Amino acid sequence: MTKLFNKNSSKVTYVTKSSRYLNSGSYIAILSPEYYWIKKQKLPVKSLSKAKRLAPSLFEGSLPDGDYSYEVRKSGDEFVVIAYNPVEISQKLKEVFPAKSKVTNIYFAQDALSNINECVSIDERSALTNLNGILIQVPRQCSNTSSTIAKYLDTANLKTRGVRLNSSGKQLFEKRDIVILSILFAVILLSNLLGYISYKRDIKNLDQKRTDIIKEYNLPPTMIQIKSIKRSLDKKFKQQKLLRQKLFELSKIDLKKGEYISKLDFDGKNIELNIHIADKSRIQAIKNSISPNLKIVSDNLEDDKLHIRIAI
């Protein structure tokens, strides 16, 4: 799926792992959620740099083997943490685009298409939807075909931070971008040095606070705070894993022609979905097609919409 981006004559392209483009040219690639892993949660830090240091531990044991990079965004009082494999993405883009093509910029869908607030179709098999501020790719069944990804490519946020890839093969960025990065290299080094000095100072302050807490409450010198943080992160991970399993089960609902999921939401305890139905006699059949692994808390019919709440 592509749209022409007039500013630099590059085609804004939404790239899935099954995408293939036959025409050589200049492209801007927006990566589907298939290319990265994402988590949204509160962390015991305030700055992005400190949150990024915690990023590897958030995904520990949940990623396939590989050398991963991490990006962190702020979202209210929570952090959005993205893990991705630069080498794997580089190799996949060489399969997606013709050999003579040039990929001038690369973005995560989470950043460039953050204005999506509905379920939009991508192709015959898949759709993109926003679930609590996180863009996820789901089976096409949830999408009303009147909304497609194409209209959002016209308004994609291309001023956001691009994806950095360390590619030993074809150049994936324009020379202009490389020059800019080279100019900023010294600034980045200085920033990292200042960050390191700040980090050492913060560590010293944290050690002092830990000592003060132990003395104030007469506690033994243990790693109480770290273990508490770990328990909280483990709980978040288990909840997100369970939610993914439930969404996969929902993708198996048997919907007929004219039926589709018009709304999908999650309030922290229950999944709520609205199913557009054309025939009220189909209500029981639809409920019966829902996996026995899913517990229906409540359901009701309003006009042609069947509201179903499922506990996780």
Q: State the angle between helix axes of 48-58 and 224-250 in degrees (0 to 180), rounded to the nearest 10.
A: 70
As for how many domains the chain has, the answer is 3
- Could you tell me if 27 and 80 lie in one domain? yes
For helices 48-58 and 175-216, angle between their N-to-C axes, nearest 10 degrees? 80
Q: What is the pLDDT of residue 173?
A: 45
Residue type at 115? N
> Does residue 237 fall inside a structural domain?
no
pLDDT in tens, 104-152: 899 999 999 988 888 888 888 888 888 888 998 888 775 555 778 888 8
- In whole angstroms, give the CA distance from residue 40 to residue 45: 14
Residue pLDDT, tens place only, 182-200: 677 778 788 777 877 887 7
Which residue segment(s) compose the domain that 129 sits in?
Answer: 2-173
SS3 for 48? helix
Are 294 and 161 contained in the same domain?
Answer: no
Helix (H, G, I), strand (E, B) or coil at 283: helix
Find the CATH number of the domain harbouring 277.
3.30.1360
pLDDT for 247 equals: 82
The per-residue pLDDT for 290 is: 81
Kindly list the averaged pLDDT for each block of 10 residues, start to end, along the chain of length 312.
51 89 86 94 91 92 90 92 93 86 90 88 86 87 71 84 63 52 75 79 79 67 63 82 81 82 83 85 83 82 87 80
Distance CA 274, CA 161 (A): 35
My answer on whether 179 and 270 are in the same domain is no
Q: Return d(Cα 29, Cα 94) in angstroms, integer.
A: 12
Residues 6+ apart with CB under 8 A from 48: 72, 73, 74, 79
- Please tell me the distance from the alpha carbon of residue 104 to that of residue 83, in angstroms, as a whole number: 22
